[in-house]
Structure 1
Amino acid sequence: MIDTAALDHPKSAVFVVRHWPTEEWLAQWLSPNATLILSEQALMDVLNDPTLLESLTITPYALHSELKLLNIDEVPASIIQLGDARWVELSLDASTYIVWDDPQN
């Protein structure tokens, strides 16, 4: 059986950012149907300075399991907590999956 619901949803890119990206990177890579997951230092940067979220054109995500590992109880309301199962689904369905690690390149 063909999953016709899947045909209605084009594959999108998933970006996991470990360091807060530059404005140029955000402008080049983020599109309305992309998924942005904040991780490691990028997540800590946003927790320390929530105004960074104002530069985003899409709603960011954070992995619920990472928040628990870091003993983070609260995140800004504009960050959606993502469960591990959904993260795997997004990863498998993505047209592109990029882990952004180096803010200089």
Structure 2
Amino acid sequence: MSPIALNCFIQIAIGFAIAGAVASAYQAFVNRPPSFALLQQGPTPEGFAAVPLLVFTAPFVIMRNTLRSGAPEPHRFQFVMIATVLAGFWSLMSGTFIVLTLQALGILAGA
């Protein structure tokens, strides 16, 4: 495995881990899971606070919604694959942001 591929894999894992941790912390404080419905509150302080929350929890929310949809028929392969690719790409971007932020703060050694 090339170093670039390994780096991307680690960033995806960090993105999913951060998404799960932030979603679990939100659920522990508010007693309900985060969802994209938080954005429908309009221009209120809660609506604006939901944006950074959902930026980091989106991979978790996308996969949870995909796997827990109450459809009686099995999921179509294409739908699950698109949702997984979308959540993976979003996780890669948030993981990259976390890694670059830690490098800029001097907490993580840069390559």
More helix by share: 2
More strand by share: 1
- Shorter-chain TM-score above 0.5: no
Question: TM-score under structure 2 normalisation?
Answer: 0.30
Greater Rg by CA: 2
